[in-house]
Amino acid sequence: MKSFFFVFTVLVLSGCRGLNEDGSSRFTYSSCKITASEAPHLIDQQHDLQQCWNIPGLGIFAQNEAILWCEDRVNAYVEKRYTTMHTIHYSIYTKNCTF
């Protein structure tokens, strides 16, 4: 009976590892992606929508910290790529970027 309980416990805990299929944690924010762009040219909009950044390490637990991290990445990207500003929408995710 003890061995059954041990095997059952191991099976349950292994199913609750807290990892997504990509290896990121289900309990942290792991990536930041541009979700919409109002760039004046279609090619720029398409380029913007391809931008996604993985948060290093185990991710960020707090939603507000993840949003600030994402905002910093998006602002740095826009400042580096464009001379005029346009509206960009972004979001944080609990999975890594898929390219």
**How confident is the model over 23-40, as pLDDT tens digits?**
888 999 999 999 999 999
Within-domain flag for 10: no
More confident residue, 1 or 34: 34
> What is the chain's alpha carbon radius of gyration, rounded to the nearest angstrom?
19
How many domains in the chain? 1
Within-domain flag for 56: yes
> Which residue range(s) make up the domain with 33?
18-93
Within-domain flag for 5: no
Within-domain flag for 99: no
User: Is pLDDT of 90 > 90?
Assistant: yes
E strands, the chain, in order:
31-37, 52-54, 88-93
Task: Tell me if 66 sits within 8 A of 41, measured CB to CB.
Answer: no
How far apart, in whole angstroms, are the C-alpha atoms of residue 36 and residue 89? 5
Question: Smallest Cα–Cα separation from 96: which of 39, 37, 33, 44?
Answer: 33
Mean pLDDT, range 60-83, rounded to an integer: 97
Within-domain flag for 36: yes
Within-domain flag for 82: yes
> What does the pLDDT look like over 39-68, one tens digit per residue?
999 999 999 999 999 999 989 999 999 999
Within-domain flag for 45: yes
